[in-house]
Chain A
């Protein structure tokens, strides 16, 4: 069937799960959020001289690629019929969070490109390299837009009261926390890709306290979010049931909790670079599955 909406639902007065925002939207929220978290930590940690310039530069390119890949998934979700009309998405930032998000992610990608230009052979002379006034201003601006995008990835869901499970200020906070976590967890993976375990060795001890703190904060945030929703309205309680005991229980307990939180927490006590990189990959899996599961368990209450 080529229509999306209630067409795949039963015509009865009951809870109706949303199905039209699928894994592609989840990947967009995860990919672009993680990319924003990554650039945030790259700029901050590089400014504090805690990570190597090669890692920071590789991270910038990989983060840019991740953001563009996420956007490609989003365009695919719009369907081939939209073509160039996607440019209309910028028309209503006054009322629409989708429009605001499109503006934020576009500015973020452009800022990142400007920061990366001096690293391209032949463009080294551009006045926005590390240590220049313009470079500093660009990096400060990118921090603001990175945080704005991380918040947006939750606000776009929480701003609507149609789906009670999303309609809470806890969701943007949780998504900001998870974007920070997945962003910083991407750094050891990037270091391993760019320089092998030798590159991971020095940054491991630097990042581990931050990773540990963010894992604990996000575990607490997830607990508070689900606890709050479990004592909420009937549709939000139904969503919690679907998440913990229903169709998404494996995603939640195995993917989000065991792989995404408990294993990385246990792995933080290890000083081994391969274990750290594996834990960071597990964090990425948990972070994606959180977005996916939150979308899938969103249910509408009866329309009357």
Chain B
């Protein structure tokens, strides 16, 4: 069975936000909800100051704390490792939001769109997929994966910073990248087993400790 994984090349990301927009367009997420985010950090001081960019999204953990925290069983893992929310079971306790160390899930309470209370035809169609009062998070564009297409964020990235592939296939694109470049997993020490790898430079091998703990 395919086990999907994801890589983010921090050397390649230029912070263009294409992935953020592509995710918004593909999934039509309501205002304030960003399944894909590009976080920024300023480092150094003038004249050597620089800005770094870190794309962040659901890591589809092997041991997802959100699923353990959920009292209703609404958060489930598919056989291919993609972690999804069953909106029919979710009651909006926000325990997944508290439990996720990457603060990925959101809760949408369902009032209004980007242009006020009245929804545009695009919004009306897209928001109909979101049940008010339930948790929302990246689902790895599983509807595209099932059709053999890449997630919208990967497809849109102009710098080839985002990649995805089968972790169980040694020749998959991400396994090749992981062999070629140094990498780490976010907050791996918390035992969540994220399926997202940040690539940081040539040489291959694991870099321990990417988190703040």
Contacts and interface: CB of A to CB of B under 8 A. Distances in A.
Interface of A: 1-9, 11-14, 16, 18, 20-21, 78-82, 85-86, 88-92, 95-99, 102, 159-164, 233-235, 300-304
A235 B91 contact: no
B108 A82 contact: no
A4 B99 contact: no
B69 A97 contact: yes
Contacts of B198: 304
6 contacts: A3-B32, A5-B107, A12-B39, A89-B91, A98-B95, A303-B186
Main secondary structure of the interface of B (DSSP, over half): loop
B103 A5 contact: yes
A160 B65 contact: yes
A3 B95 contact: no
Contacts of B111: 2
B163 interface: no
Contact of B106 (A6, A88, A161): A6
B32 A2 contact: yes
Nearest to A14: B41
A301 B211 contact: yes
B93 interface: yes
Contacts of A5: 32-33, 97, 103, 105-107
B88 to A, nearest CB: 8
Contact of B39 (A11, A85, A95, A235): A11
A1 B32 contact: yes
B124 interface: no
A96 B98 contact: no
A81 B87 CA distance: 11
Interface string B79-99: 000000000010111110111
Contacts of B70: 92, 96, 98
A233 B209 CA distance: 14
B173 to A, nearest CB: 22
B109 interface: yes
Contacts of B136: 3
Contact of A21 (B71, B94, B102): B94
Interface stretch (B127-135, B141-149, B175-183): B127-135
Given A3-B109, A102-B71, A302-B211, 8 more contacts: A5-B33, A5-B107, A6-B103, A88-B72, A160-B65, A161-B65, A304-B54, A304-B187
Contact of A2 (B68, B101, B112): B112
B195 interface: no
A81 B99 contact: no
B203 interface: no
Nearest to A166: B98
B174 interface: no
B211 A20 contact: no
Nearest to B130: A3
B95 to A, nearest CB: 5
